[in-house]
Copies of this chain bind each other. A is one copy, B any other.
Amino acid sequence: MKVLVVTGSKSDSHIAEKVTSVLDEFGVSYDLEVASAHRDPKKVEELAKKDYDVFIAIAGLSAALPGVIAAHTVKPVIGVPISAKLGGLDALLSIAQLPPGVPVATVGIDNGKNAALLAIEILALRDERLRKKLEDYRERMRG
């Protein structure tokens, strides 16, 4: 089981770190890439066709990255909008408002943590140990 974490630009690394620190905490394997849907579509397509279980795509502005990945895979794709302009409303709408047929799971603006947790929830459907960790994590949050 492996996750791909991909940002549209190097400047989005602070959000990628929110994602990877949670994946690390849960012991989930991942690869980390930078690939822009607009500047390097070929690389995005190649990454999307690799055999990851879940994709987490992080992007700001018109934020096509999550949708472009989703167009090339039937694996779950999670999109994280970044607040580069307009408080991130542009990225949120660009990711959430995908047309019927190609879904992306959108999380909140700059909310890399929830992207990671959602990926783990998906992986935990076939991994009892991971599910137990999630339940412990929730328990600690209540603390």
Report which A residues bind B (CB closer than 8 A).
Answer: 8-9, 36-43, 45, 53, 60-64, 67-68, 70-72, 74-76, 78, 83, 85-111, 113-115, 117-118, 121-126, 131, 134-135, 138, 141-142
Contact = CB atoms under 8 A, between A and B. Distances in A.
Contacts of A135: 74
* 10 cross-chain pairs, A with B, having the tightest CB-CB distances, nearest first: A105-B105, A103-B114, A38-B102, A103-B118, A74-B134, A90-B93, A100-B113, A106-B106, A61-B97, A94-B94
Contact of A72 (B41, B70, B89, B98): B41
Nearest to A59: B99
Given A96-B106, A125-B53, A68 B64 contact: yes
